[in-house]
Amino acid sequence: MKLRILLAALPFIGLYSGGSLAAHTPLLFGVPFLLVWNLFWMAATAAILALIYCLDSRDEAANSSARAGGSQ
Amino acid sequence: MNASLIIIVLFAIFALAVGLYARRGKKQLSLEQWAVGGRGFGSLLTFLLMAGEAFSTFSFLGASGWTYSKGVPAFYILSYGCLAYVLGYWMLPAIWRYAKDRNLVSFADYFASKYDSRVIGVLVSIVAVLAMVSLLIIQLRGLGIIVSEMSYGLISQNTAIWISAVLMVAYMTVSGIHGSASIAIFKDVLILGLAIFLGTYLPLHYFGGFGEMFARIDAVHPELLRMPEHGFNLSWYNSTLLLTSLGYYLYPHGFTAVYVARDASALRKNVVLMPIYQVLIAFLFLVGFAAVLTVHGLEGAQTDLALLRLVKQTFPAWFVGIVGGAGLLTALVPGSLIMLNASTTIARNIYREGFAPQATDREVARVARIALPLFTLVVVFFVLRGGATFVALAIFSSSLLTQLVPMLASSFLKRPFGTREAAFGGIAAGGVVLGLSSWGGMTLATAFPNAPLAFTSINMGLVALFANAVVFVAISAAQRLLRARIDTAVGSA
């Protein structure tokens, strides 16, 4: 559970630091820094949620097979 | 008659046909079938419905319009959703499970049931219905603008609003939520394709590349590519991000879209996919930037027209018609969901809980079907006629919705901490702050004249939410303490 909370905290840290970072570097490769940053974190958020989803379904599968095994 | 008008009309007919056809195979729709699709929607349909509800005319016109007029601060629109989905990963399955166990249908049902209070149910319903008036006004106004712009003025705004309101009432009365969901399938795909196309083609066509476009903007309007010092500055950006991500699911039609899912896993898959779908907003930002140097003379509220004007001056009439038709669908999906939720709330929470506790489910379903066209008629009246006081009240109610955050947060705890009285007190405190800022002219700068700019630029909605949370926690804690003291006094006597 702890790992999942740490993972979930990452998008918050990433997206909240974007504004302050953008104050120092407005442009990156000729494109607004904040746009690149937010897009990166958008993809990262999807990846992190997908990872948490995998962890959860693995645990649920383990739980249900453990329960099925116990009842036999 | 021109090509764009014909295409927009075809889109409208298509939407009506799809909406009505959605009813097929279902003889009689119970309230649960009608309002939440019998809780049988799989991952894909749940996703399409929630995406369809989230990407409304605000995303279509606002994302590009804000970029056109304000530049970088608009990027918050891309981020707040992502944070909301992270919270939603745990929140939505919890809401869904609770709603399924207790057969909840409306937004207010959740709060009434969690806090075990009819009064809370009726109060939340009234605020929710008023808020939905303002939300539907926004959708209908946006729809009127899109259709009249893209038909080159051949269809007036008022005609567009009337026709689409009639369409929505027709297919929602017949098919209920199945109508919205079927249209959402086409709308979500179409809008994604259009956003990607416009966001890539327009910068390439006008500037030869993304880098070139930003270099030109940097030379002429460097302020658009930098976070401003005043107004929409960094602390406004961060506070708005927090406020909007916390309040993301507290729109009645978004909240009840959770109920339609077949299982909790459909909702989890949904929030995994939603951030990727957000990419369409990034493409709309690019459209807004492309309009900065190519569309001239839009000021104030007109800046929302940036995307439409740029499309009109770039493409032939038939393509303008497709964008107009896509805009029409973009308003129809959330618009019809709002109507559905308003009528279910009126029937279940205001009519039954407030006036007729012994009403049967069939009566409630009948009232809901009568309430739907009446509610729509009232909203159309306010869109066309104004009615400034009532509209201001409706807008105020929609900002009050976010004030339900402390109540919602406390409802997820294993041993809920918040009490009914605390909920009232907290929302009242938040409401007072919001009221003072919208009618009393109060800002953080007037209340704290010596505070630094970083503090005074914080979004007032977040200030109200903070006041609300403090009062909510204080009253709950006080009641808890008192009760404990009474218990020990009784115990020792």
Res. B225 pLDDT band, cuts 50 70 90? confident
Nearest residue in chain A measured CA to CA from B281: A39
Residue A40 in contact with partner chain B when CB distance is under 8 A: no
pLDDT digits (tens, 9 = 90+) for A22-41: 777 777 787 888 888 999 99
Residue in B89, B237, B275 nearest the CB of A19: B237
Nearest residue in chain A measured CA to CA from B215: A30
Pairwise CA distance, residues B39 & B96, whole Å: 10
Pairwise CA distance, residues A35 & A26, whole Å: 10
Spatial contact of B52 and B333, defined as CB atoms under 8 Å apart: yes
Can you tell me whether residue B41 is helix, strand or coil? strand
Q: What is the pLDDT of residue B118?
A: 83
Is residue A65 pLDDT above 80, yes or no? Answer: no
**CB-CB under 8 Å, B265 with A11:** no
Residue that the structure tokens 């020990």 belong to:
B488
Nearest residue in chain A measured CA to CA from B78: A38
Q: B264 Cβ partners below 8 Å, 6+ apart? A: B92, B93, B96, B97
**CB-CB under 8 Å, A30 with B215:** yes
Query: Any idea where the domains of chain B sit in the sequence?
Result: 3-385, 394-493
Q: Return the residue in B79, B225, B241 with the most chain A beta carbons within 10 A, the one to mutate for interface testing.
A: B79
B206, with CB counted inside 10 A (0-12, 13-18, 19+), is middle
Residue A57 in contact with partner chain B when CB distance is under 8 A: yes
Q: What is the pLDDT of residue B28?
A: 73
Q: Return the residue in B66, B67, B75 with the most chain A beta carbons within 10 A, the one to mutate for interface testing.
A: B75
What totals of helices (H) and strands (E) does chain B contain, helices first?
25, 0
Q: What is the pLDDT of residue A68?
A: 65
Q: What is the pLDDT of residue B232?
A: 83
User: Which residues in chain A have Cβ-Cβ distances shorter than 8 Å to B86?
Assistant: 8, 11-12, 45, 48-49
Is residue A72 pLDDT above 50, yes or no? Answer: no
Q: B377 Cβ partners below 8 Å, 6+ apart? A: B165
Pairwise CA distance, residues B431 & B447, whole Å: 17
pLDDT digits (tens, 9 = 90+) for B336-361: 989 988 998 888 888 887 788 888 88
pLDDT digits (tens, 9 = 90+) for B461-477: 889 999 999 999 999 99
Compute the nearest-CA separation of B10 from chain A (Å). 36
Is residue B94 pLDDT above 80, yes or no? Answer: yes
Q: B93 Cβ partners below 8 Å, 6+ apart? A: B264, B267, B268
pLDDT digits (tens, 9 = 90+) for B135-179: 898 888 888 889 998 988 888 988 999 999 999 999 888 888 888
What type of residue sits at position B258?
V
Is residue B493 pLDDT above 60, yes or no? Answer: no
Spatial contact of B348 and B135, defined as CB atoms under 8 Å apart: no
Q: Return the residue in B82, B89, B234, B241 with the most chain A beta carbons within 10 A, the one to mutate for interface testing.
A: B82
Residue A55 in contact with partner chain B when CB distance is under 8 A: no
Pairwise CA distance, residues B435 & B464, whole Å: 10
Compute the nearest-CA separation of A45 from chain B (Å). 7
Q: Which of A15-24, B221-230, B459-468 has the highest mean pLDDT?
A: B459-468
Residue B356 in contact with partner chain A when CB distance is under 8 A: no
User: pTM value?
Assistant: 0.88
Mean pLDDT of chain B: 86
The torsion region of residue B418 among left (phi > 0), alpha (psi -120 to 50) and beta comes to beta
Task: Report, as an integer, the average pLDDT of B249-274.
Answer: 87
Task: Report, as an integer, the average pLDDT of B429-451.
Answer: 82
Q: What is the pLDDT of residue A69?
A: 57
Nearest residue in chain B measured CA to CA from A27: B225
User: Which residues in chain A have Cβ-Cβ distances shorter than 8 Å to B279?
Assistant: 39, 42
Residue A23 in contact with partner chain B when CB distance is under 8 A: yes
Q: What is the pLDDT of residue A18?
A: 83
Can you tell me whether residue B292 is helix, strand or coil? helix
User: Which residues in chain A have Cβ-Cβ distances shorter than 8 Å to B271?
Assistant: 49
* Per-residue tokens: B375: 């509610």
Compute the nearest-CA separation of B83 from chain A (Å). 6
Spatial contact of B329 and B180, defined as CB atoms under 8 Å apart: no
Nearest residue in chain B measured CA to CA from A35: B75
pLDDT digits (tens, 9 = 90+) for B286-332: 999 999 988 888 887 788 888 999 999 999 999 999 999 999 998 88
Query: Any idea where the domains of chain A sit in the sequence?
Result: 2-71
Residue B83 in contact with partner chain A when CB distance is under 8 A: yes
Is residue B440 pLDDT above 70, yes or no? Answer: yes
Is residue B251 pLDDT above 90, yes or no? Answer: no
Is residue B374 pLDDT above 90, yes or no? Answer: yes
Q: B216 Cβ partners below 8 Å, 6+ apart? A: B207, B293
Q: What is the pLDDT of residue A1?
A: 66
Is residue A49 pLDDT above 90, yes or no? Answer: yes
> From residue A17, how far is each of A3, B77, B86, B381 by CA, in Å?
21, 16, 17, 45
How many A×B Cβ pairs under 8 Å?
Answer: 93
Residue spans of beta strands (DSSP E) within B396-452: none
Pairwise CA distance, residues B36 & B19, whole Å: 15
Topology of domain B3-385 in CATH is: Sodium/glucose cotransporter (1.20.1730)
